[in-house]
Chain A
Amino acid sequence: MAELPVELTTNMFIALGIMFAAYVLIFSELLHRTSAAIIGAVVMIGVGTYAGFYSQDLAIQSIDGNTILLLTAMMMVVAMVRPTGGFEYVAIVLAKLSHGDSRLLLIYLSLAVSLISMFLDNVTTVIIFAPITVLIARILEVNPLPFLMAEAMLSNIGGAATLVGDPPNIMIGSAAGIDFTRFIIHMGPPIAAVWACTVVLILFLFRRHLTKVSRHVDLNENKALRDPAALIRALFVLAMIIVLFFLHHHMGLYPAYVAFVGLCVALVLERPEPGALFGQVNWSVLAFFVGLFIIVGGLEKSGLLHWVGLQLVDLARDPERLLLTGLAVMWVSALLSAIVDNIPFTVTIIPIVLGLESMGINITPFWWALAIGVGLGGNGTHIGATANLIAIAESEQCGIKGAAITPLAWMKVGIPTMFSSLIVASLVYALFFPFFM
């Protein structure tokens, strides 16, 4: 491996300039984020090859195959589960169980969304739950706004608990070599505490909206199930994948591989029409991630991320200040994730943390801090997470008076929620710090 420079070089500035330009395009939405990432990646390879710090081979090596393949497999599995109507069935049953008590309904729906988001993509979960939630609220003649916001926020929180719940977690787990079980053991307790506090806070903030109504949910849950046999097969496959996730490290298998094992079983059982199945995969997201990996790969090969690591090494090396540094990582990650897409941030920060490890620093607490920060920060603003934007779009489309979630309305709830979540997570992190080491 070539020796990386310890001083700033021209190549570092070139790579930084390309990454900066690409990120401006991504965050400003002047171009679609995937287009911006692809352009940034192509420019990084071209310029990097000319300048001598990057190459096509290095670019391909910088793509995290485990992350991309795991996401692909899970998207395909979700594509087979989604049409069964199982999620809608759950939502209607929970709505009926709440017996018109809006507070209970919010808790039930949020719990369901959080649990599903732990294992499936939280964006898909909110896409499915948001329209049925609006319909339930419409029937009960209550404002769907608190429910939509709660679902998006608690879906983000639920997704933060597991290795596969959120793309940044997949990236962190893949880079750090953290397996599914270890991830949930470490992230589960702080996220459970955060979840409970967030529900209580949301119930308090929306106390005027959440009343008891006498209307009953006039929806037939049995008609939601389009193909009960397909649902049973899909649940079997999902259960198998979850079991395999818990066991993958014992078998020496990547999470992506076990997801593909589950996918193979689903393909045999379901025999989906290929066009419909592949059409459901979000290729745009996958291409976006590939582009980001290549851009950050160029930055890393220029030596800039190593240089950044060198600047941080003194702060991180002091065992006395390890907790403080971990908390700083958590809060900075959260605050940045609230205002910018957490994926580019995570992709950029991972090589810096890995670089610190090569300097002899115990980086394990930083991985957990990073996962907590990027997972919880997204709740702060409406643009902090894709699930938030879906909830907002649904609230605007539904046409119910007073239901539209404005950016300000989001922040009025999102900012207190994000800060309370971070305070709770910080307390758990600090009190049980040896556990996170």
Chain B
Amino acid sequence: MKLMDVVIPTGMVHSGMNIGEAFRECVTHNVGGIPFCNSDGQITGRFSLRNTFRQLCIPQDMIHHAHMLGDAICSESTPEIINGDMLKLSVETFVIENVATITPTSPVLKALSIMEKFNSSYIFLLDDGEYVGVITRMRIASLLLNYHKF
């Protein structure tokens, strides 16, 4: 199995985009995050669904005590979700600087190891510095099932 077989080509997030547009790109391609590029087209960070939700509407105290929460809290504590205001915000505030990348010649095991190390469900594939797409665990598992006709 080669990484080029499992890559999901996506667009990138750039300065000036809002969260709604970034969400649309992630949802369309069923990935948890996409790269953020600067005006020179260089990847300088990443936009992550998980990080955006965490920064916008899941306070640390709620995450820490999530196992004790009842059902009455969620909707009332996150008005940003109800009124959709969060979708209009600029993505730049939510960009994470650390980016895990891999090249097409790397083995799948390396991609899985890096995802594990960075506690992430995806990694970006770069070919000679050019962005190709996203590698996800889900996609690797899907291809494995197809390959073995399981």
Contacts and interface: CB of A to CB of B under 8 A. Distances in A.
Interface of A: 88, 92, 131-132, 134-135, 138-139, 218-221, 223-224, 394, 397-399
A131 B61 contact: yes
B65 A131 contact: yes
A219 B59 contact: no
B40 interface: no
Interface stretch (B3-11, B21-29, B70-78, B91-99): B70-78
A223 B70 CA distance: 10
A224 B72 CA distance: 17
A218 B72 contact: yes
B110 interface: no
A220 B70 contact: yes
A139 B65 CA distance: 12
Given A218-B73, A219-B69, 10 more contacts: A88-B65, A135-B61, A138-B59, A138-B73, A138-B77, A218-B71, A220-B69, A224-B67, A398-B61, A399-B59
A23 B112 CA distance: 49
A219 B69 CA distance: 5
B68 interface: yes
A218 B59 contact: no
Given A138-B77, A139-B73, A220 B59 contact: no
Contact of B61 (A92, A132, A224): A132
The dominant DSSP class at the A interface is helix
Contact of B65 (A132, A394, A397, A398): A132
Contacts, number: 49
B69 A218 contact: yes
A219 B64 contact: no
B68 A224 contact: yes
A398 B59 contact: yes
Nearest to A218: B70
Contacts of B77: 138-139
A289 B68 CA distance: 38
A218 to B, nearest CB: 3
A220 B60 contact: no
Nearest to B57: A399
Most buried by B among A88, A92, A135, A218: A135
B62 interface: yes
Nearest to B56: A399
B67 A131 contact: no
22 contacts: A88-B68, A131-B60, A131-B64, A131-B65, A135-B65, A138-B61, A138-B77, A139-B72, A139-B73, A218-B70, A218-B71, A218-B72, A219-B69, A219-B70, A220-B68, A221-B68, A223-B68, A224-B67, A224-B68, A397-B61, A398-B59, A398-B61
A92 B67 CA distance: 13
B13 to A, nearest CB: 24
Contacts of B69: 218-220
A397 B60 contact: yes
Contacts of B67: 223-224
Nearest to A399: B59
Contacts of B61: 131-132, 134-135, 138, 394, 397-398
